[in-house]
Structure formats: C-alpha cells, structure tokens
Chain A
C-alpha cells in the first residue's frame, strides 16, 4: 500500500490557521495590517492548496471575489503599499557614478586588462555551477527536514531525521521522525 496523505491535510490546515491567527495578533491588532487583507491571504492560500490537491475542503465564497481583481485592488490599495522602486534605482546610479571616475586614473589600461581576464575565467566557473544546480533541481522528488545525527561507517550512512516534509510521487507526506540507511 502507498503512503497515506490524510494527516497532511489536517496538519496543513492547522498551519494555515496558525499563521493567520498569529499574524492577526501581531499585525492586525497593532494596526499594521487590515483584517480584510489578512482574510484575502487566507482564502487565496487555501484555494491554491485545494487546487494543488494537498488539502481537502471547499473553496470559500470570499475566494471567488478575488477572481474579480480590478475592483478589489482599487479599494485596498493605499499609497503606503507602493513598492519603493525609485530608491533602488538611485543606488544603482550612485554605483555607476562611483565606478566611472576610476577609469580616468593613470593606471586605467592595466586594471582593465586584469578585469577582462578575470571575467573570462569567472564565466567558465559559472557555467559549471549552473550545470550542477540544474542537475539538482531536475529531481522532482524532494524531502525537507532536520537532522539529529549523520554517521558514516565505510560506505554505510546512518541518519536520524525529524520534522520532515516529503514530496514524493506527487504526494505530500509529513513525518516526525525518520531513519535513513544509505549505501554509497
């Protein structure tokens, strides 16, 4: 028989409720966050979870209202929420201005030569790293957990894990403890 995911739905619902309740205590009660925005987070989050098939439940009516975003966004938007893009851009500008005068110095050419060589070397390094990362991220099955113990004797590895989320064969299964016995 395959691993059961019935407990996962219960635990995930617990996490959603816990995040919403504690955010209410910390952010809504001191006026940083609107209750309506918090309930939007909750309903959109739950809807996405139901659509991903990891929790069971019915999609709430408040979530349907979100599918009409223009009106909702217009009413909830406040000037405070604007993303401070201009600041970032000004930092970049300062960097450019700081860098350009360096090229006016007496040792310009020598420095530029070194930089060019380094850039060529670095480019190769990056490519290799990217390939390795691609190799890792192509694995569709993932376990996220904590380790208590990792022991190796010759080619045998013994591990003790806890608090894990396993995403294998399209399923989410949670564990409190796991033992790992691997052969290298």
Chain B
C-alpha cells in the first residue's frame, strides 16, 4: 500500500519521530525498526484521516505563492480564513502542502 510521509511533519508525527530518535540514540531501538514504526504511522495516520474524521472546512485567502513539484502542490496564502460550521480562524500567512490523492489508490 502506498503511503505519504507528509504527516510526519505534524505534531503527532514529530512527537513520534523524537521518541524513536531518542530510543535509537540510547541504543534501545535499532534504526531499522524505528523506520518500520514510522512507516506504520504513515499508514495509520492516512487511514484515520479517512475513517475517523468527518469535519469539512472551507479555506479562503490571497494566494501569494504556488508551486507544483513532484506531484506536490504548495500554496502560501496571505490573510487566510478557515471556516468549519459556524467557527473560524484567521491567519496572516499559512503554507498548504498537498500530495496527489490519486497516488494512494494506484
């Protein structure tokens, strides 16, 4: 099954990476096993976002920069507004990194 390493940069991914790093450094865990756990995280995270999450969001903003490289879109927005139901968040600058969803079903 294809997976994205994209989510390793999220807080949950960074916390796991730090944990595994510390355990490899201390000799508790081999680097090979640490990688296998990370790959399992890639799978579990993607599955969870598909099966556990129901939230729908609308994003609006001024597109400052766009880039398409290696099937990954990168957008940098200015004065962005994130809306879900009646709730919203505003940020002055945000980066969106998006992988091609079709690559997972191939």
Residue pair A178, B56 in contact (C-beta under 8 Å)? yes
Instruction: Give the distance in Å from the alpha carbon of A37 to the alpha carbon of B27 in the complex.
Output: 11
The residue in A3, A69, A82, A181 that gathers the most chain B C-beta atoms within 10 A of its C-beta is: A3
- Total interface residues on B, CB under 8 Å, equals 71
Q: Does A11 belong to the interface (CB within 8 Å)?
A: yes
A62-114 residues at the B interface, CB under 8 angstroms: 69, 72-73, 76-77, 80-83
Chain B residues contacting A54 (CB-CB under 8 Å) are: 11-12, 15
Residue pair B16, A1 in contact (C-beta under 8 Å)? no
**Interface of chain B, main secondary structure:** mixed
**Interface of chain A, main secondary structure:** mixed
CB contacts between A and B, total, < 8 Å: 232
Chain B residues contacting A161 (CB-CB under 8 Å) are: 59, 96, 98
A49-B11, A49-B12, A83-B31 as given contacts; A142 in contact with B97, CB under 8 Å: yes
Residue pair A184, B59 in contact (C-beta under 8 Å)? no
A128-168 residues at the B interface, CB under 8 angstroms: 136, 139, 141-148, 150, 157, 159, 161-168
Chain A nearest CB, measured from B51 CB (Å): 9
Residue pair A82, B27 in contact (C-beta under 8 Å)? yes
Residue on A nearest B86 in the bound complex, by CB: A1
Chain B residues contacting A33 (CB-CB under 8 Å) are: 33
Chain A residues contacting B48 (CB-CB under 8 Å) are: 11, 14-15, 18
Residue pair B87, A175 in contact (C-beta under 8 Å)? no
Residue pair B95, A141 in contact (C-beta under 8 Å)? yes
Query: A177 is contacted by which of B11, B43, B57, B104 (Cβ under 8 Å)?
Result: B57
Instruction: Give the distance in Å from the alpha carbon of A41 to the alpha carbon of B99 in the complex.
Output: 28
Per CB-CB distance, the 8 closest pairs between chain A and chain B, nearest first, are: A163-B49, A182-B63, A146-B101, A48-B15, A141-B94, A147-B98, A18-B44, A178-B57
Q: What are 21 sample pairs from A and B whose C-beta atoms fall under 8 A apart?
A: A1-B87, A11-B53, A41-B20, A41-B23, A44-B23, A48-B15, A52-B11, A54-B11, A54-B12, A83-B24, A83-B31, A141-B94, A143-B59, A146-B101, A163-B53, A173-B57, A175-B57, A175-B84, A177-B57, A182-B63, A183-B63
Known: A49-B12, A49-B15, A159-B73. 7 other contacts (CB 8 A): A3-B82, A32-B33, A146-B4, A159-B75, A163-B50, A165-B7, A178-B56
